[in-house]
Amino acid sequence: MPTYRFKQVDAFTSRPLFGNPVAVVLDADDLTDDQMQRIANWTNLSETTFVLKPTIAGPAYRLRIFTPAHELPFAGHPTIGSCHAIIEGGIVTPKDGRLVQECGAGNLPLRIESAGAKRRIWVEAPEAKLMGEHPELSSSLPEVLEAQSLNRRPRRHSATALTGSSSDSRPSPK
């Protein structure tokens, strides 16, 4: 049974266990869609990514993103965390601080600054697309939003724009 390199990365932080986690399976070209879905279910994180060779000239790599239930065309923290893991794993090297990632939403430009825990990565997100309408929710949505605004305290958010820590392990699909 093959073995695959695996990293769990905390995106949006430089401190382990303080970021948004993503599981990253490196060199995943031999995995089937079903195996990827089973691994994503096994990791039980909001997203698990699979790094593959690009299918076209230009991008440095291709990324597939799975939740425990289905595949996504794009997601922000998995894109950023995976880019960090790919660079850290020596799979790609940015050219002039830039890479292009192929994914279900197209080819996305990434900008990379610094290295290690100080690395910062920016992605140019794809244009949002309406995936479906839910008219049955239209009558209750204003009530939910109003209730949320009444119960919400002002919050201040700051974010370190990326990177993270990672740990290696080796999952093996059955």
Q: Which of 95, 125, 127, 113 is nearest to 160 (CA)?
A: 113
Q: Which DSSP state fits 153?
A: P
Cβ 104 vs Cβ 125: under 8 Å? no
pTM: 0.76
Q: Residues 47, 71, 133, 136: which is the catalytic one?
A: 47
Q: How many CB atoms lie within 10 A of CB 45?
A: 17
Say how far apart CA 100 and CA 79 lie, in whole Å.
11
Tokens of 113: 């600054």
Q: Which CATH fold would you assign to the domain 6-126+160-169?
A: Diaminopimelate Epimerase; Chain A, domain 1 (3.10.310)
Torsion sign, CA atoms 10, 12, 16, 18: negative
Q: Active-site residue 136, yes or no?
A: no
Collapse the DSSP code of 63 into the 3-class scheme (helix H, G, I; strand E, B; otherwise coil) and give the result.
strand
pLDDT tens digit at each of 174 positions of the chain: 689 999 999 999 888 889 999 999 999 999 999 999 999 999 999 999 999 999 999 999 999 999 999 999 999 999 999 999 999 999 999 999 999 999 999 999 999 999 887 899 999 989 887 777 777 766 776 777 777 666 654 433 333 333 333 444 444 454
DSSP-H helix ranges across the chain: 33-43, 76-88, 141-151
Q: Which DSSP state fits 27?
A: S
Say how far apart CA 84 and CA 166 lie, in whole Å.
9
Amino acid (1-letter code) at residue 112 = I
Q: Which DSSP state fits 117?
A: G
156: Cβ–Cβ under 8 A, 6 or more apart, which residues?
none
Collapse the DSSP code of 10 into the 3-class scheme (helix H, G, I; strand E, B; otherwise coil) and give the result.
strand
Q: What is the pLDDT of residue 142?
A: 77
The helix (run of H) or strand (run of E) holding residue 160 is: none
